[in-house]
Structure 1
Amino acid sequence: MSRFVVGIDLGTTNSALAFVDTTEATEDLPAPVRSLPIPQLVAVNDVAERPVLPSFLYLPTEKEFPAGSIDLPWKKKPDRIVGTFAREHGAKVPARLVSSAKSWLSAEGIDRASALLPWQAPEDVPRVSPDEASAEYLGYLKDAWNAAIAGKSADDRLEAQQIYLTVPASFDAEARERTVAAARSVGLEQVTLLEEPQAAFYAWLSEQGDSWRKRVSVGDLILVCDVGGGTTDFTLIGVAERDGDLELNRLAVGEHILLGGDNMDLALAHAVAETIPGGMEGLDPSQRIGLTYACRNAKEALFSDPGLKSATVSVLGRGSKVIGGAIKAELSRELLHSVLLEGFFPKCSATDQPARGRRIGLTEIGLPYAADPAITRHLARFLGRHSGATSAAGAAARPTAVLFNGGVFRAEGLRDRIAETLADWGGEPIEVLAAPELDLAVARGAAYYGMVRRGKGIRIRGGVPRSYYVGIETAAPAVPGVPTPIKALCVVPMGMEEGTEADVPGSQLGLVVGEPAEFRFLASTVRREDAIGTVLDRWSPDELSELTPLVTSLGEQAGEEGDVIPVRLHSIVTEVGTLELWCEGTKDAGRWKLEFNVREPAGA
């Protein structure tokens, strides 16, 4: 095993790295979790350490900066800039600034491998793919680690360590696989993925030590409310008892909600624009992007300094008045809280549902943001859908405690609004679990989880967080213009533990061999009662969502091209969370494997 266990939070807005040096452990005390200060450009000719690495990539022109002025301790003449200076300078030149790569990495309906960032940049600006931008951030963290920790020791380089890389709980399989691929592209091979809300809870466990058992009781239901730069994630963790000791079980995860700090920055930009002559309509597209980035920086400044009453927002002018024509405004704390509280955290009832919004026939290709910005209404929907996670069947889940995660919740007023809303829904106060260092919690929790995997801590149990189904083509007469309907066969029920396997009961199926065939997979976060072998003839879009299909060719030696041979299915959930679906011949010997990642894909 590696000397270090490393946790990396590859965030939409900020990335962070934490680690455990296992040689520091003693018989009485575990090794501490530490965060890595990250050296980065903060201005021209100025490299300084910061606790996090802003997830921004600036693409400079060839002669934009003087020679040597953007050099790094480990790299001379970099052709790209990452981190604080990329964010600050890029706010003035937004057409060359890549941001929110993580959101694009998870966006469905686009080619995520294509070079599309910076979004809507002019033709003469080079572009990168979301994968490439993610690899830039991971590569930067690798270089910073190797310079600060490894030195000349090959065994201590980041490439040689066990790495736990976090992703939103709602990331689909393709986004997870692309995250792993980005890590591998910079030489990080020993990578396991961990869901961010779980990582945040592991950070809380790490801080509490053995005293966590005094903070919670059997029957408690803990909500992890994670609002990051690009996504909103909800997770429910239950406290149970086994053999006289407390244990933790992850009971439910939310669906993918593309809603977070990016949306808030845009809302703030519109609010600030109302104080500028001409408003938002008076700004060109580049200035609008610049205003959004400037509002993001102002928001971060107000979050970081509670004593600050306002922050300046500045946008460059146009044409010959780029400098002299700069537009300046103020983002006050009062306006900040008003926009965020009323726009994103409005008071609502437990039965409210987020608005879906009417779809227009033609729409611009871009990030599929949630139609309703009200996080409280999305929370109401989540708790209402997961009534089965508690003993009160038919009633919405009622958390007894909440743990906040994400930089958005550095604002005390936003934490208070969620806690008050939950209390209103449940009729009693909600305990807020202390979550220090919100920007670092996920990375620190991931590092702690690495030690849990080595048997040095309490593990959150729960098996796979979704039920998984394979699509079965219905034997029905062909109808012109009507696609053949499919049934959904449950091959992995929700909660199936890692390291277990089972035959899929039911009648035998026909496997197409010798030619490329499409295998369709579906998943559900709410159908927790479906047992393995359950067949669904119909379902609503709210119950099942289709995943990226797998196209492959099986059984080239089993028969002629296009033959159909009878098989039965056998499911295995491996220790690292991959699903192996075996097709076993019932007449002739033969086994064929379909492998699909369902949790923590480590690249089997």
Structure 2
Amino acid sequence: MTHRFSVGIDLGTSNSAIALSRIESESTQIVEITQALGPNRVGEKPTLPSALYLPHPDEFPEGAFPLPWRTAWRGDPIIGHFARDHGALAPDRLITSAKSWLSNPHVDPRQRVLPWKSEIKEEKRSAFDCSRMCLEHVKESFLHAMGAGNGDIDLADAQFVLTVPASFDEVARSLTAEAAEAAGLGKVVLLEEPLAAFYAWTAQAGKDWRAQVRPGDIVLVCDIGGGTADFTLIAISEKEGVLDLDRISVGEHILLGGDNMDLALAYALRAGLEAEGKSISETQFLALIHSAGKAKEAMLEDETVSEFPIAVPSRGSSLFGGTVSTKLDRATLEQIALDGFFARTAIEDLPQQTRRAGLQEFGLPYASDPVISKHLARFLTRSLENVKSSAALSSLIGAEARSKPFLAPTAVLFNGGVFKAAPIRRRVLDLLSAWSDGAQVRELAGYQPDLAVAKGASIYGRNRVTGKGLRIKAGASRSYYIGLESSMPAVPGFKPPLKALCVVPQGMEEGSEVLIEGRDLALVTGQPAEFRFFSSEVRSGDAPGEIIPDAERELLEISLLEVDLAAVEDIPAGQPVPVQINAAVTELGTLELWMKHAKSERRWKVEFQVRTE
């Protein structure tokens, strides 16, 4: 099939966007998304807030939120700008950050638990459903904008590329791809968000991008949005006069971003109100968080603004007859946003794991240390460990870079809404320079924090279809392993450690597969069997078939699966059968794991699944 278009979709934690690249030209455009801006008010915006509002059955009249592709509205969830803004006044009905729940290892993303901690009696939604509904809205808006039905475009005309955080594990990636298929987008190609941002930057810079980087550079893509911090390193090398780009490291999934800053500012503003003898309700506090975020954005983007007025509306009877007013001043903003989250720390200062109570509220695994500087230091330190474990990666960065205690970037590409603020960009550059003993770290100019990911995804899709243009060598973002029970005599009081077999090495490219031979492996069939999956972002040197002696100590467990595999004929149920493992990274960027019977053509597919406890 020949695609006429490449469509990039950024399903963001805070905002989503869609971009279109035409295969026969170099043009790329953002397609504005039609959405509800109020009751009986529809408009187009470049982004769609990834927020869903679940209206009370009696809150709005039937038909109050028509859309061009859905004229009859009967109380369905509202998505977009109105949902986010109206939901700030009724937070128990507002779902935000649903994407982050896809990677939560403790809650099944198909379970209807959102809004989290809400006591609404109406049906809640699952993280998977929320992702599907957002993608379905984006798809329908795209088809409407492109004149679908008039012969202008059909879904089959387009190559869809959907972005995911580089830090997403295989479970979250698979769920995202499945949500896209359920939304009617078919089999989408997955692309990591920092790589998409880099593709967009090269297109924005034009031919000049090659003058901004040079062989030996290590580019840090620093992507901080509303709810997550995502780090990636790209090494620039040269072969036969042509620049080569290799993604050499990705970070952990860190739930820390602009939303945390908004919350911290709201706490400071509430303390100021209480010092004046005023108090606000919990509902008003949630509205205060929303207002603090708007004030933060306005003041950080315009450094001439010294203070910003904030009004918190009262609802019903309260201590006050009307609105509660306060203001955010620049000194408070810089103390919290800059010195609090981007403190001038040393490279040796890593995130602190605070002591946790024995009993905790269950929810998203937020970062316990709010200092983003420390998380960045940890990423750069672990990146060096990762590169040193692979001879191929070590050759890309040179001996001088390996001699430092961390992998020092020489250039930075910023992405995400947080970096709209020039003071925050300057602080990150100052930190990196200080850690590198004063060496200058360049900022790559020409980024677009809100729209770059969608644009870059569409450009990448066009390059895939045409076989031309820039391609960053990436492949699997981490190494993957499967638990392996030790075969040894039983010893009283001793439990042998669980081993792990490397099935996918870091960097394994899309469209490739590997058959693990030379290992005596046995698979239990005909009765329930447990599979435990692990990963690592710092063991790039592990090869397929390599065994890790203690999986629980050295690796991160990401998935637990209990399945009952069909028995083999003429072999009693429960008796292990000899197998070989065949692992593949598909062209679409998803991982498949097959167990092949060593004495027949019989195969069993074992999939990464969500771990629930």
TM-score, reference length from structure 1: 0.91
Deviation of 1:408 (Å): 0.6
Distance 1:111 1:532, change over 3 A: closer
Would you say the 8 A contact 2:93–2:118 is kept in 1?
A: yes
Q: 2:470 aligns with which of 458, 470, 475?
A: 458
AA in 1 matched with 2:344 = K
Which residue number in structure 2 is paired with residue 413 of structure 1? 423
Matched, 1:175 2:186: no
Would you say the 8 A contact 2:32–2:46 is kept in 1?
A: yes
Distance 1:159 1:313, change over 3 A: farther
Matched, 1:557 2:557: no
Whole-Å separation in 1 of the counterparts to 2:331 and 2:68: 41
The answer to which of 69-78 and 528-537 deviates more is 69-78
Deviation of 1:325 (Å): 3.8
Which residue number in structure 2 is paired with residue 58 of structure 1? 53
Query: What are the within-5 Å matches in structure 2 for residues 160-559 of structure 1?
Result: 161-277=158-274, 282-303=279-300, 308-317=305-314, 319-321=316-318, 324-387=321-384, 388-389=386-387, 390-391=397-398, 392-393=401-402, 395=404, 396-427=406-437, 428-454=439-465, 455-478=467-490, 485-538=497-550, 541=553, 543-554=554-565, 556-558=567-569, 559=571
The answer to which of 84-93 and 306-315 deviates more is 306-315
Whole-Å separation in 1 of the counterparts to 2:582 and 2:53: 49
Whole-Å separation in 1 of the counterparts to 2:239 and 2:276: 61
Whole-Å separation in 1 of the counterparts to 2:282 and 2:561: 40
Whole-Å separation in 2 of the counterparts to 1:272 and 1:328: 10
Whole-Å separation in 2 of the counterparts to 1:331 and 1:481: 61
1:344 match: secondary structure: coil
Deviation of 1:508 (Å): 0.9
Distance 1:415 1:121, change over 3 A: same
- Structure 2: segments with no counterpart, 5+ residues: 388-396
Would you say the 8 A contact 1:268–1:339 is kept in 2?
A: yes
Would you say the 8 A contact 1:150–1:156 is kept in 2?
A: yes
Deviation of 1:178 (Å): 2.0
Whole-Å separation in 1 of the counterparts to 2:190 and 2:589: 10
The answer to which of 88-97 and 147-156 deviates more is 147-156
1:485 match: secondary structure: coil
Deviation of 1:3 (Å): 2.1
Deviation of 1:551 (Å): 3.1
The answer to which of 262-271 and 330-339 deviates more is 330-339
Whole-Å separation in 1 of the counterparts to 2:525 and 2:320: 66
Would you say the 8 A contact 1:159–1:188 is kept in 2?
A: no
CA deviations 1:136-187 (Å, max 9, x no partner) are 2212212211221133246724475321111111112222222222222221
Deviation of 1:444 (Å): 0.4
AA in 2 matched with 1:226 = D
Whole-Å separation in 1 of the counterparts to 2:296 and 2:522: 58
Deviation of 1:537 (Å): 1.1
Matched, 1:46 2:64: no
Aligned length: 590
2:273 match: secondary structure: coil
Distance 1:539 1:472, change over 3 A: closer
Which residue number in structure 1 is paired with residue 16 of structure 2? 15
Would you say the 8 A contact 1:274–1:280 is kept in 2?
A: no
Deviation of 1:233 (Å): 0.8
AA in 1 matched with 2:451 = L
Would you say the 8 A contact 1:221–1:237 is kept in 2?
A: yes
Whole-Å separation in 1 of the counterparts to 2:320 and 2:62: 23
Whole-Å separation in 2 of the counterparts to 1:232 and 1:545: 19
Which residue number in structure 2 is paired with residue 577 of structure 1? 589
Would you say the 8 A contact 1:435–1:441 is kept in 2?
A: no
Would you say the 8 A contact 1:311–1:330 is kept in 2?
A: yes
Would you say the 8 A contact 1:91–1:294 is kept in 2?
A: no
Whole-Å separation in 2 of the counterparts to 1:248 and 1:44: 49
Distance 1:273 1:249, change over 3 A: same
Which residue number in structure 1 is paired with residue 391 of structure 2? none
Would you say the 8 A contact 1:150–1:158 is kept in 2?
A: no
TM-score, reference length from structure 2: 0.89
Deviation of 1:488 (Å): 1.2
The answer to which of 41-50 and 355-364 deviates more is 41-50
Whole-Å separation in 2 of the counterparts to 1:290 and 1:224: 33
Whole-Å separation in 2 of the counterparts to 1:471 and 1:291: 47
Distance 1:253 1:280, change over 3 A: farther
Whole-Å separation in 1 of the counterparts to 2:153 and 2:348: 53
1:274 match: secondary structure: helix
Deviation of 1:477 (Å): 4.3
Whole-Å separation in 2 of the counterparts to 1:597 and 1:448: 30
Whole-Å separation in 2 of the counterparts to 1:62 and 1:513: 50
Would you say the 8 A contact 2:177–2:187 is kept in 1?
A: no
Would you say the 8 A contact 1:96–1:121 is kept in 2?
A: yes
Which residue number in structure 2 is paired with residue 601 of structure 1? none
1:547 match: secondary structure: strand
The answer to which of 444-453 and 136-145 deviates more is 136-145
Percent of aligned pairs with the same amino acid: 46
CA deviations 1:480-499 (Å, max 9, x no partner) are 88765311122222223333
CA deviations 1:105-136 (Å, max 9, x no partner) are 22221122122222222333542111222222
Distance 1:53 1:306, change over 3 A: farther
Would you say the 8 A contact 2:497–2:551 is kept in 1?
A: no
Deviation of 1:334 (Å): 3.8
